[in-house]
Amino acid sequence: MVLGRAQESCSGHSRPTEAIVDLDRIGHNVTYLKSFLATGVALMAVVKADAYGHGALRVSKAALNAGAEWLGVALAEEAVELREAGIAAPILILGPSHDRQMDWAVRHGVDLTVFDEQHLLWAKMAAKRHRTRARIHLKLDTGMGRVGLIWDRLSKAWIEALADPDLHWIGLSTHFSASDTDPGATKTQLARFLDAIEYLRGQGALPSEIHAANSAAIMQYPGAHFTMVRAGIAVYGLKPYSQAVGLEPALKWRSEVAYIKVVGQDFAVGYAGTFRTAEAMQLLSVPVGYADGYRRGWSNVSDVLIGGHRYPVAGRVSMDQITVAVPLGIAVRVGDPVVLLGRDGEEEISAEELAGHIDSISYEVVTGIGKRVPRRYRGD
Ligand SMILES: *Cc1c(COP(=O)(O)O)cnc(C)c1O
């Protein structure tokens, strides 16, 4: 039983580095986003990539409790995980699926995105195997220039193919390329989508769900809401465009001071000595590194919060550790909390701020928080 004890003593993540997700804030953000919608417009909470790093199952439950009607994922695998955990709400796979993924999706009653004849064949085969109908959404490319059938290639042949008895045509969708920054491009895409909708209406072939808006479009373009909207980043309280207000960031990434030493002037810190102390100071070690998603690009540029004050990351970010420079005379102790992302008193380090250091976006910061960082939950 010695081994059993060893396992026990190592379980439960003794390292203090963790991400704390406030599920009440997820609920607040869903409620807030719903306030932009006319009655009858459904909200899909997009929980792909483990709910943007926040934890798909817990976030899904919180979002559904707060009034989201649908869930969106990127992969069949993500949808199956939710179904197997007991989530019964409609789930749409937003990205393309190959034949095996379609089989899993159809078996679990998950909606598929299609935009190619090959997709229809695979969906029909899966439906026949499982003696059911495959639930599908046709995706149009109205200017994103990524996946989707080019909007003006919709045809009678497509409408006939979608009327196949093995298929249940649920939805029509498109995706904006710049609803956060470019109203002109968004209006062009919207006009193309409206053309496609008019064409289908004229053919008496409009499916029941029409959806286009991501977070930035939900908050800025009511004309893009149709019957359903797809909210990702805003569910997590991160700004979908720079002027956005009213959202509450749900995730806090924290650790603790693991070690402190006092050093003199001109002391070299970390790999290659890229930081040298200008005067005597305290160097704090914090157990988080690029293997946890604390990006090496934040070396010598990001700050952390201790006791509600900002202190700089000194030297290179290592795989498992960072060093923080704190002036002499500031009282710090081993075990003091360190906020890497989130609020501490009056100060806040936002995902947008961290993204700005590396020419990135908040999406990449939160989805990049590694598996080694346990997620803990508050609220709900
Ligand atoms: C990820 C994704 C969304 C959500 O976008 P946000 O900007 O995070 O709101 C919506 N639709 C599709 C197709 C997506 O892939």
Give per-residue pLDDT as tens, 246-266: 999 999 999 999 999 999 999
**Residue 358 — φ and ψ, nearest 5°?**
-125, 25
SS3 at position 40: coil
Q: What is the pTM of this model?
A: 0.96
d(C-alpha 92, C-alpha 135), whole Å? 9
pLDDT for the residue 121: 98
Ligand 1 mean position to 127 CA, how many Å? 27
Burial of 285 (0-12, 13-18, 19+ CB in 10 A): middle
Under the banding of pLDDT at 50, 70 and 90, the label for residue 11 is low
Give the domain 23-236 fold. Answer: TIM Barrel (3.20.20)
pLDDT of residue 14: 80
Active site (annotated) includes residue 48? yes
Give the Cα separation of 10 and 301 in Å (integer). Answer: 34
DSSP string, 294-346: --GGGTTT-EEEETTEEEEB-S---SS-EEEEEETTS---TT-EEEEEEEETT
pLDDT confidence of residue 380: 72
Domain with CATH 3.20.20.10 in the chain: 23-236
Q: What is the mean pLDDT of residues 154-171?
A: 98
What digits encode the pLDDT tens for the residues 185-198? 999 999 999 999 99
Token pair 């580095």 is found at 17
Asked whether residue 6 carries a pLDDT value surpassing 80, the answer given is no
At residue 369, the 3 state secondary structure works out as coil
How many CB atoms are located within 10 Å of the residue 245 CB?
7
Q: What is the pLDDT confidence band of residue 290, given thresholds at 50, 70 and 90?
A: very high
- The whole-number average pLDDT for the span 6-35 is 85
Residue 13: band (very low, low, confident or very high) from pLDDT cuts 50, 70, 90: low
For 234, the token pair is: 């805003």
Question: Which atom in ligand 1 lies closest to the alpha carbon of residue 214?
Answer: 9
271 belongs to the catalytic site: yes
Identify which has the larger pLDDT, 8 or 153: 153
Question: Taking 90 as the threshold, does the pLDDT of residue 308 lie above it?
Answer: yes
pLDDT confidence of residue 12: 55
**DSSP 8-state symbol, 233:** G
**φ, ψ of residue 47 in degrees (nearest 5):** -120, 30
Q: Is the pLDDT of residue 328 over 70?
A: yes
Look at the chain and count its residues: 380
- Residue 57, judged by CB atoms within 10 A of its CB (0-12, 13-18, 19+), counts as middle
Tell which wins on pLDDT, 6 or 151: 151
**φ and ψ at residue 146, rounded to 5 degrees:** -130, -120
- Please give the share of the chain, as a percent, with pLDDT higher than 70: 97
Task: Give 47 Cα–ligand 1 centroid separation in angstroms.
Answer: 9
Average pLDDT over residues 116-132: 98
CA of 202 to the centre of ligand 1 (A): 29
Ligand 1 binding pocket includes 171 (Cβ within 6 Å) = no
CATH architecture of residue range(s) 251-378: Beta Barrel (2.40)
User: Would you list the DSSP string of 17-80?
Assistant: -EEEEEHHHHHHHHHHHHTTSPTT-EEEEE-HHHHHTT-HHHHHHHHHHTT--EEEESSHHHHH
**Residue 43, ligand 1, Cβ within 6 A:** no
Residue bearing tokens 């649908």 = 70
Helices (H) and strands (E) in the chain, counts: 12, 21
Dihedral pair phi/psi, residue 76, rounded to 5°: -55, -40
Q: Is 94 in the pocket of ligand 1 (CB under 6 A)?
A: yes
Identify the pLDDT of residue 10. 54
The pLDDT assigned to 9 comes to 53
Catalytic residue among 34, 48, 139, 252: 48
> What is the residue with the minimal CA distance to atom 15 of ligand 1?
94
Q: What is the mean pLDDT of residues 87-116?
A: 98
Whether residue 203 has pLDDT greater than 70? yes
Which of 19, 66, 23, 61 shows the shortest CA–CA distance to 250? 23
Evaluate if residue 163 carries a pLDDT over 80.
Answer: yes
Q: Is the CB of 270 under 6 A from ligand 1?
A: no
Q: Give the pairing type, strands 259-263 and 281-286.
A: antiparallel
Q: Over pLDDT 90: what percentage of the chain?
A: 96
So what's the pLDDT on residue 230?
98
- Calculate mean pLDDT across residues 28-52: 98
Does the pLDDT value for residue 8 go beyond 80?
A: no
For residues 17 and 288, the answer to whether their CB atoms sit within 8 Å is yes
